[in-house]
């Protein structure tokens, strides 16, 4: 029986029974998901998913795309998922959710040497506030009545701050700290306005057995990490 199981696994049949290869779309959003110097997709969320897939004997094709495309493909194309994604009420019914993978702290940042002061989102109403297309942070801020200047990728907000094209950047604190250090840019956090979990969001066509096995593997990894 073991030999037969091994043959099924090596031939890809077992993977197909458990859901087949699923596309895992993501974006350049360190430290959760990004490319290393060799062009491999890495990051804390990526490594968690790779470990869970291996434990569950499942397969996925990791793809790094502009965020708007990564998100849209997961919403519209069968057997596609996207991560690291915020689970919002507006998105809830669009996907099957797996996770959480990690968490993110939403924070407003300005350049260290500016005199900008703000304690709440309301204080940003007269400023140029930067985010990127289809980002949950920017969408939330916009829903509070704050105009948002969007770009196609999060990393571009670093350049826009440096060039004076935006006054404030709203984003996850962990990503901002990583990208600012990469660009040797000094940021000043103005205030924090949310704490959210990040997930893998899948098109409803992704098979239930794939979802349940991957979720169980992620749950085990989290549980083992909490054991002292």
Do 175 and 123 fall within a single domain? yes
List the beta bridge partners of residue 151: 132
Within 10 Å of residue 152's Cβ, how many Cβ atoms?
13
Do 202 and 98 fall within a single domain? yes
Of the given ranges (5-9, 40-44, 152-156), which has the lowest mean pLDDT? 5-9
- Look at residue 92 in the predicted model and tell me its pLDDT: 97
d(Cα 55, Cα 195) in Å, to the nearest integer? 29
| Cross-sheet strand order for the sheet of 129-132 | 60-64, 22-26, 80-86, 187-202, 96-111, 168-172, 129-132, 148-151
pTM metric for this prediction: 0.85
Residues 128 and 226 sit within 8 Å (Cβ to Cβ)? no
Do 177 and 190 fall within a single domain? yes
Please tell me the total count of domains within the chain. 2
Do 117 and 98 fall within a single domain? no
Nearest Cα residue to 135 out of 40, 49, 67:
67
Q: Which domain holds residue 44?
A: 2-103+197-226
DSSP structure class, residue 114: -
Indicate whether 12 pLDDT > 50. no
Q: H/E element holding 171?
A: strand 168-172
Do 205 and 92 fall within a single domain? yes
Do 139 and 208 fall within a single domain? no
Nearest Cα residue to 22 out of 90, 88, 95:
95
Do 171 and 215 fall within a single domain? no
Do 111 and 165 fall within a single domain? yes
| Interval 55-103: pLDDT, tens | 999 999 999 999 999 999 999 999 999 999 999 999 999 999 999 999 9
Q: Kindly report the CATH number assigned to the domain that includes residue 96.
A: 3.40.190.10
d(Cα 157, Cα 180) in Å, to the nearest integer? 10
Do 190 and 206 fall within a single domain? no
Do 141 and 125 fall within a single domain? yes
Calculate the average pLDDT of the chain.
92
The residue to which tokens 């959480």 are assigned: 100
The SS3 assignment for 138 reads helix
| Interval 99-157: pLDDT, tens | 999 999 999 999 999 999 999 999 999 999 999 999 999 999 999 999 999 998 899 99
Do 73 and 127 fall within a single domain? no
Of the given ranges (10-24, 119-133, 197-211, 213-227), which has the lowest mean pLDDT? 10-24
Do 68 and 109 fall within a single domain? no
């Amino acid at each position: 029986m073991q030999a037969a199981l091994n043959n099924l696994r090596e031939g890809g049949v077992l993977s197909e029974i458990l859901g087949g290869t699923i596309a895992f779309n993501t974006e350049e959003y360190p430290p959760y998901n990004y490319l290393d110097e060799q062009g491999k997709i890495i990051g804390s969320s990526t490594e968690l998913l790779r470990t869970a897939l291996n434990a569950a004997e499942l397969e996925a094709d990791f793809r790094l795309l502009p965020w708007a495309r990564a998100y849209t493909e997961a919403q519209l194309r069968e057997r596609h998922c996207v991560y690291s994604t915020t689970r919002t009420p507006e998105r809830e019914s669009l996907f099957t959710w797996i996770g959480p993978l990690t968490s993110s702290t939403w924070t407003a940042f300005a350049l260290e040497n500016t005199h900008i002061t703000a304690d709440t989102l309301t204080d940003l109403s007269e400023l140029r506030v930067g985010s990127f297309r289809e980002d949950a942070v920017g969408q939330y801020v916009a829903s509070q009545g704050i105009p948002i200047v969007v770009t196609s990728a999060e990393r571009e907000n670093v350049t826009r701050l440096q060039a004076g094209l935006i006054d404030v950047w709203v984003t996850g604190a962990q990503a901002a700290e990583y990208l600012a250090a990469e660009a040797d840019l000094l940021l000043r956090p103005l205030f924090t306005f949310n704490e959210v979990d990040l997930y893998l969001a899948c098109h409803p066509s992704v098979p239930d057995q794939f979802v349940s096995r991957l979720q169980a593997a992620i749950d085990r990894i989290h549980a083992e990490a909490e054991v002292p």
